[in-house]
Structure 1
Amino acid sequence: MNWTEVKIRTTAELEDLISSILYDAGATGLAIEDPRDILELSKYKENWDFVDPNLINIESDDIFIKAYFSEQENVKEIIEEIRIRMEDNPVIALASNEINISVINDEDFADSWKKYYKPLRIGKKIVIKPSWEECTLEEEDILIELDPGMAFGTGTHETTMMCTEALEEYVKSGDIVYDIGCGSGILSIVAAKLGAEKVVGVDLDEVCVKVSNENIELNNVSDIVEIKNGNLLDVVEGKANIIVSNIIAEIIAKMTKDLKAYLKDNGIFITSGIIVEKIDLVEKALLENGFKVLEIKKKNSWACIVATNN
């Protein structure tokens, strides 16, 4: 059997959104090519005999997202659906995205992609694993099960990792947490399993809402987590102890003017999806709106900011 490869050139900031669209369209597997990953790995020369200079010739911040579809599917209709979904999303539509189509041969592809998804430990006790994998847990570990076939969001991205680490540090038993731009629901699930009494996740994309609900059921936290379809803070009511938002810097900066109305006194705002070059943009917006920055975490080219309204 042959497979159709849909290759999209886009920005790193849109990785989550476009990956979710591709999975919802029925992609059997997904691969992310980010030249900066190769550049980072190439620094550790003891792990390499040779690094092709063409692989680290980075002229832009673009990445490549490859999705694979069976030849038995109506690929033309699927590709048109993907184009429409990308054009209809206001965040994605702002970027210059290139789509290329090619056909590849089958080499046990349907299962081979799964070998890249392994259990992942984040922070002190969060363990995230694909549903088909087994892993050994320590006594205090908190297990989160996700199926990458449902949507992007296995916890491997730096922004997700840093937000997870921050939630582990700041969530207290009985807290109310808002997850703005919840994507696959991973951060909402993390907050619930860390002891939050109530979690509200919000996403503008209906597909993300559907996927989040599936993941919430998989992790047995439906009694704690509620997912809403809406724009940022528009659909939440009342105040939270913690707001977490892993989206993009420009939207975060605009959102800061409304945050205090949704945070309790001494509340915590955790945010990522920020490339290091835009830390100043977000930090300035937070300070101008009465927040105090508690810490700035960095992993590779990404940053996470933790602030308080105290």
Structure 2
Amino acid sequence: MKWTEVSVHTSNEAIEAVSNIFIEAGSGGVAIENVQDFLSTPDDGFGEIRILENQDYVSEGSLVKAYFPETKNLMELIPEIKQRILALESYGLSIGPNTFSIEDVQEENWASAWKKYYHPQQITRYLTVAPQWEEYEPKLDGEIVIRLDPGLAFGTGTHATTRLSLQGLETYIRGGETILDVGTGSGVLSIASSALGAGEIHAFDLDEVAVRSAKENVKMNAYAQNVSVSANDLLKGIEIPADIVVANILAEIIVPLIPDAWRLLKPNGIFITSGIIEAKKELILSELETQGFTILQVLQMKDWFAIVAQKVEED
């Protein structure tokens, strides 16, 4: 089958938003090329990071590559996609150079390209993310492997925002918790929560493609069958008391989520938010404190921040 690759050179902070625009436009998958995700990832004592053997990376920002089947009428789609990406600036997101390129590719070339971009990576001390097609055996006592198919690129575990979320979960999960994962994408945070000992995990995403992706990834990990995945708009209409709420989404979407997270968290419950850029950090901190949350930690990796807050039980 023939596919058309539409590539956009954008800023790192706009990666998730641009990827979502492509998926909503009918893309069959999204690839993200950003060499800095690997070159500037700290060792953290977890082992050597493998650098991808590819010389085509841009020096600044990222390339977001979307793949459309030849049956799609791209001449109608491209103007709409460009308009939606331009509109991201109204949300305070830089879209970088925002240059487009279009190229025809064969399905077999696209399929084999994934294996060049993704390899097992140790994300935290106990969690390693490995693509489902590669053989990998744990190398450390207590190491748990999360199997993912990153073909739809809803989160492979390597991006800084996901790493920060995983570090937060690893710190605060003690065993048996009920967890709500908002904007689950690939399901990696929910699967990790199960691996770390959470008792009941509910994963939500507004995008049906993401829901299907997360469900498939849950099936790949036998230990994660306590994860349920469903379509939902943030936490609207949800009535599940939770010990931890985790959301790796855009800062603008975190703000309206805060009251529902407060409503559903049990006393002393933990709220982990990630996907926050420097320009939005103070906004999120202010909104959390106004709601009544106590800030426990502000985590940083490269240009990204995660905030861990607690609904402290009143005396």
TM-score range, shorter chain: 0.7 to 0.9
- Counterparts of 1:46-61 in structure 2, within 5 Å, are none
- Counterparts of 1:70-109 in structure 2, within 5 Å, are 73-74=69-70, 76-77=72-73, 80=76, 100-103=100-103
Q: Which runs of 5+ in 2 are unaligned?
A: 42-57
The answer as to whether partners of 2:236 and 2:260 remain within 8 angstroms in 1 is no
Q: Alignment partner of 1:233: what SS?
A: coil
Q: Alignment partner of 2:100: what SS?
A: strand
Q: 1:118 to 1:21 in 2, by over 3 A?
A: farther
Deviation at 1:17, TM superposition (A): 4.8
The answer as to whether partners of 2:126 and 2:143 remain within 8 angstroms in 1 is yes
The answer as to whether partners of 1:200 and 1:236 remain within 8 angstroms in 2 is no
Q: 1:179 to 1:3 in 2, by over 3 A?
A: closer
Q: 1:94 to 1:214 in 2, by over 3 A?
A: farther
Task: Report the counterpart of residue 273 of structure 2 in structure 1.
Answer: 271
Which letter does structure 1 place at the counterpart of 2:122?
A: R
| 1:170 pairs with one of 169, 172, 180 | 172
Which letter does structure 2 place at the counterpart of 1:256?
A: I
Equivalent pairs counted in the alignment come to: 287
Q: Alignment partner of 2:73: what SS?
A: helix
CA distance in 2, matches of 1:127, 1:79: 41
TM-score by length of 2: 0.78
Task: Report the counterpart of residue 7 of structure 1 in structure 2.
Answer: 7
Which letter does structure 2 place at the counterpart of 1:272?
A: S
Deviation at 1:261, TM superposition (A): 0.9
Structure 1 stretch displaced more, 273-282 or 15-24:
15-24
Task: Report the counterpart of residue 63 of structure 2 in structure 1.
Answer: 64
Q: CA RMSD in A?
A: 3.3
The answer as to whether partners of 1:25 and 1:78 remain within 8 angstroms in 2 is no
Per-residue CA deviations over 1:96-120 (Å, capped at 9, x if unaligned) read 9757342367795542441221111
Deviation at 1:234, TM superposition (A): 0.8
| 2:292 pairs with one of 287, 290, 310 | 290
Q: 1:199 to 1:264 in 2, by over 3 A?
A: same
CA distance in 1, matches of 2:110, 2:37: 23
- Counterparts of 1:75-224 in structure 2, within 5 Å, are 76-77=72-73, 80=76, 100-103=100-103, 110-137=111-138, 138-221=140-223, 223-224=225-226
The answer as to whether partners of 1:16 and 1:153 remain within 8 angstroms in 2 is no
Which letter does structure 2 place at the counterpart of 1:114?
A: K
Q: Which runs of 5+ in 1 are unaligned?
A: 42-54
The answer as to whether partners of 1:188 and 1:199 remain within 8 angstroms in 2 is yes
Q: 1:171 to 1:40 in 2, by over 3 A?
A: closer
Identity of aligned residues (%): 38
Deviation at 1:285, TM superposition (A): 0.8
Q: 1:197 to 1:86 in 2, by over 3 A?
A: farther
Task: Report the counterpart of residue 243 of structure 1 in structure 2.
Answer: 245
The answer as to whether partners of 1:269 and 1:307 remain within 8 angstroms in 2 is yes
Deviation at 1:32, TM superposition (A): 2.5
TM-score by length of 1: 0.79
